Structure 1
Amino acid sequence: MPTEDGTGYLLTGEKVFTGNGDIADLLAVLATAREDGHRRVGVFFLDTSDPGFRVRSRLEFMGGRGLPNAALTLDGLRVPREHVLLGEPDLPRFPPPVGSVALLSALFFNAAPALAIARQCLEWSHSFVARRSVNGRPLGDYDQVQRILATTAAEVFAMDTVVRWCLLDAGLEDRWFERAAAKNLVTVTAWRIVDRTVSLLGGEGFETAHSKERRGAVPLPVERLFRDARGLRISGNVDFLLDVQAARLLLTGRYATAAAAAAGAAPGVTTGGGAGTASAASGAASGVAATGPGADLIPANQAHLAAARQGLRRFDRVSARLVARHQDPEELFARQETLRLLGRIAAELFSVAAVLARAATEGGDQQQELADVHCTAARHRLAGLWRRLGAPDEPDYAKISRLSAAAVS
């Protein structure tokens, strides 16, 4: 709430999962201000020496060591007005600079450690396979092991490509879609990789490093990476909600474009400081466009490129139909599963586009083969996502969840 003299705000409440909350002198806290009958979402920069600030408890994660975190109590903590960035009245989003900083920070705090975990898993997988044999045959001679190693290598290549794409010659508010999609793309892929690595290493995959060392095995702390990778899917918001939010941003841009067209404005009008785009799949489309129609791709990747372009056109048609069918955006935004599927589809299309663009640019045989492996798997995932999005009927999940809750209460 604002102070009586209007020079600042008083914050009261509880805040959990605050990075560096127990050690920082200055903290950024997200909160909603109520002023003149309006609600404004914003970020407040707190001086932790204020008497209204208290660390209620220090949090310990299931992994993620070296990340101080705390639950806080704020009791009338005063924040000067000049230390506050607020969004527009009654709009449920942060001011554009704050949202852009949050998207960029996710690359460093979530995507970067996820990529490091994936690279470590790839290195450990190769070293494990190189020193093991089964029934007199080197482990690396087996089909399933070869598929595991190839898939992990391709996914590390894709993760690295996505992060590079998000950082290329871009300003703070550029490439918003790619940055919104990157966190989930990289952390979910890291989870697949570390889960696959635990399976590959078998008896060395779940035992602690100390236990391995005691019995003379190579003390690889795979179980630690397992916990860390899982935590990254939650850090910075839960994975399925990020998919919903990404789709909502894309659809918001389409609603804005439709409204501008109805009002006679020029095509391509956007609103919200980068929160909308004229094309529902502009981020992924930019990646496909980068390869060009005559891109230097092997035949398999040319087929992947054609499929990606077809997927983008399909995404555009589906988005247009949804927006036309739901004149009230909130009606569409309430369909979380629809938005989750759209978010995943857009992200997969972007990853395919970026990987093909890199393969075409670098042109090496290894990059081409890695791109082929990644795009093949991504197209299988996309087929399942499209099938679920277009399913005419599905179970009554709301009813089943109520019955289940009643059964255990």
Structure 2
Amino acid sequence: MSRPATSDVDLLREADRPGFTEHLHAGAVRWDLVHPFPTSARGDRAAREVVAVLRALVDPEQVDVTRELPDGVLAALGARGYLNLAGGPDTGGHGLGHREVFDVVEAAVAFCPAVGLAMAVDNALGFSAYLPVLPDGPLREWVRDRVAAGVVSCTADTEPSGAHNSGRSTTATPVTGGYRLDGRKIHVGNAPAAGAFVVTATLGDELRLVFVDAATPGVTVTARHDFLGLAGFPNGSVELQDVFVPAEQVLVEPKHAGRLTPVSTRLVVLGRMHLIAAPSLAFARLASRCAASFVNRRAIDGRALGDYPEIRRQLAVAAADVFAVETVVEWSLADHVAVNPLYEQLAAKNIASLAAWRVVDRALSVMAAEGLETAGSKAGRGADAAPLERVFRDARAMRVSGGVDFQLDNWAGRHLLTGYYEGAAVPDVVPDFSALTLSHRNAGHARFVADQARRLASACAELTARYPREELFERERTVILLSRVVNELVAMALVLARASTEDRQDLADVFCASASSRVHDAWRELGADEPDYARIALGLLAEVAP
């Protein structure tokens, strides 16, 4: 008899800890779960220490020009334990909490995106991230030894056929004493510098995580990938040909119906906080400050640029987006005891990357030609060398890395609707935000969140009653838009809870005003008759077909 398979939805739920977004999915806004808004220990001191070390190792402008990191940089960071920030002293780590690790990664990205992202890869999906969840035994000890030695590591999952396929063509074939690994992986962060890999491979009808030493015969980094942004970030493809792996280096997990294994699914959800949200926040802060600095020193016909209402609006909306990303991060990485933050961690990737893109895009418009101009060009003519052009390139990558934004919305929307097919009920409750201290405008935003949560639940109940699961999931735009409504409502609720706790009413009001407009836009599109997109797309596909 085959084992019953767990699902991704099963992994995101926790029976003994309620989730804020999980309740919002069902139409209930549990203000009591998010207020008072939590705070966590911050990693400012560790961040300053890491940046001081990086200044001695890396010239970020030179990295952007050459598109390469200096030799030995990641090895030097590994030797200092910066690829194992959360690990204990027994493995050469620094014992930082998740929020502190985030601060270090954000600071490193702000200094040099390539280095910061490489650190994020190892801390989020390298050996040090897997070590705490591995069972006692030979595999755990083997991984522990490499973490303690500061070995650069990463996860190799994406294949040439695409990142969203459920199957893997890379195979683990049983042989005497272990397995033979064959396949090819691409877009592997840290691959050119890695001394060890976690490889996803098909074993029979299941996916397995295989822990591989890069020096094993048959393992070859065959190419370096270069991208629109993130110049110098070590990324490449890995060939695996007749690679022998001892049996104890394959992690056996429960049967799972998701695209990844149970362990890797949870690590990816949390890992995107460091891989995507931290760089996104760094880029958003940089862009907001670049624009504000530009405005401070410019005038039009003697009138200060900052005196114009539209310029003030642009700066304020950007500052509010930065505040919202900070808020979602603070909540998602807080040391929750009674609340499950996994759904918020899942939503954070798109909330952060899309907000960062809005901030960078606005800054580029505010700065006009000076925003488009490279830092080197500006320095060459004696102007302020704000690196907004580089930030623009880098920020766009965050909407793709870790799952393309619309596809991640599609995946999250399926989670939302699955609850209704499994019998989620719309709760008959009146949301109570009386414990929150909110301005008149923000109280209106809180009522809006509650009303829209009820509308969301009613829409999901109606859709799942009308369509069989697979038929509804084929209506991908509907699924995506529902997910976007969820993300906006989650961000609004968290921002309002933080505003009440910290008295940040103005920033919350500006963010919620913009977010509510995006919610209205999503509902408007959901209710509209669709043009014939398929006919146009099929015509284009036929036109370019070989």
Shared fold, TM over 0.5: yes
Q: Contact 1:157–1:370 (CA<8 Å) still a contact in 2?
A: yes
Does residue 1:319 correspond to 2:460, yes or no? yes
Alignment map for 1:274-293 (pairs within 5 Å): 278=424, 292-293=433-434
Alignment map for 1:7-406 (pairs within 5 Å): 8-33=178-203, 35=204, 39-85=205-251, 88-89=254-255, 91-170=257-336, 174-256=340-422, 258=423, 278=424, 292-327=433-468, 329-363=469-503, 367-391=504-528, 393-406=529-542
Residue 106 of structure 1 deviates from its aligned partner by 0.5
Q: Contact 1:188–1:233 (CA<8 Å) still a contact in 2?
A: yes
Q: How big is the alpha-carbon RMSD for the aligned residues of Structure 1 and Structure 2?
A: 2.3
The structure-2 alpha-carbon separation of the partners of 1:87 and 1:318, relative to structure 1 and needing over 3 Å to count, comes to farther
Q: Deviations over 1:150-205 (max 9, x none)?
A: 0011010001001111011248x942211111011101111111111111111210
Q: Deviations over 1:253-297 (max 9, x none)?
A: 3333x2xxxxxxxxxxxxxxxxxxx5799xxx9xx97x8334210
Report SS of the residue matched to 1:60: coil
> How many equivalent residue pairs?
373
Q: Contact 2:284–2:356 (CA<8 Å) still a contact in 1?
A: yes
Distance 2:238 2:477 in 1: 33
Task: Give unmatched runs, 5+ long, in structure 1.
Answer: 259-277
Report SS of the residue matched to 1:205: helix
Q: TM-score, normalized by length of structure 1?
A: 0.85
Distance 1:320 1:213 in 2: 58
Residue 89 of structure 1 deviates from its aligned partner by 4.3
Residue 361 of structure 1 deviates from its aligned partner by 1.3
Q: Contact 1:15–1:72 (CA<8 Å) still a contact in 2?
A: yes
Q: Contact 2:172–2:182 (CA<8 Å) still a contact in 1?
A: no
Residue 311 of structure 1 deviates from its aligned partner by 0.7
Structure 1 stretch 302-311 or stretch 393-402: which is displaced more? 393-402
Q: Contact 2:295–2:306 (CA<8 Å) still a contact in 1?
A: yes
Letter in 1 for 2:484: R
Residue 66 of structure 1 deviates from its aligned partner by 4.5
Aligned to 1:263: none
The structure-2 alpha-carbon separation of the partners of 1:205 and 1:92, relative to structure 1 and needing over 3 Å to count, comes to same
Residue 241 of structure 1 deviates from its aligned partner by 0.6
Report SS of the residue matched to 2:355: helix
Residue 238 of structure 1 deviates from its aligned partner by 0.8
Structure ranking higher on relative contact order (CA contacts 8 Å, 6+ apart): 2
Q: Contact 1:199–1:205 (CA<8 Å) still a contact in 2?
A: yes
Letter in 2 for 1:402: L
Q: TM-score, normalized by length of structure 2?
A: 0.65
Distance 2:426 2:215 in 1: 46
The structure-2 alpha-carbon separation of the partners of 1:4 and 1:99, relative to structure 1 and needing over 3 Å to count, comes to closer
Distance 2:362 2:462 in 1: 38
Distance 1:10 1:340 in 2: 40
Task: Give unmatched runs, 5+ long, in structure 2.
Answer: 1-170
Q: Deviations over 1:339-385 (max 9, x none)?
A: 1111111111100011011011112xxx1010000000001100010
Q: Contact 1:254–1:280 (CA<8 Å) still a contact in 2?
A: no
The structure-2 alpha-carbon separation of the partners of 1:383 and 1:321, relative to structure 1 and needing over 3 Å to count, comes to same
Letter in 1 for 2:510: V
Q: Contact 2:173–2:181 (CA<8 Å) still a contact in 1?
A: no
Residue 30 of structure 1 deviates from its aligned partner by 2.7
Q: Contact 2:492–2:515 (CA<8 Å) still a contact in 1?
A: yes
Distance 1:136 1:71 in 2: 55
Residue 99 of structure 1 deviates from its aligned partner by 1.1
Distance 1:32 1:351 in 2: 38
The structure-2 alpha-carbon separation of the partners of 1:252 and 1:84, relative to structure 1 and needing over 3 Å to count, comes to farther
Distance 1:8 1:279 in 2: 48
Distance 1:146 1:100 in 2: 41
The structure-2 alpha-carbon separation of the partners of 1:236 and 1:4, relative to structure 1 and needing over 3 Å to count, comes to closer
Q: Deviations over 1:200-222 (max 9, x none)?
A: 11121011111111212111111
Distance 2:340 2:264 in 1: 13
Distance 1:116 1:292 in 2: 32
Q: Contact 2:426–2:458 (CA<8 Å) still a contact in 1?
A: no
Report SS of the residue matched to 1:381: helix
Distance 1:368 1:42 in 2: 48
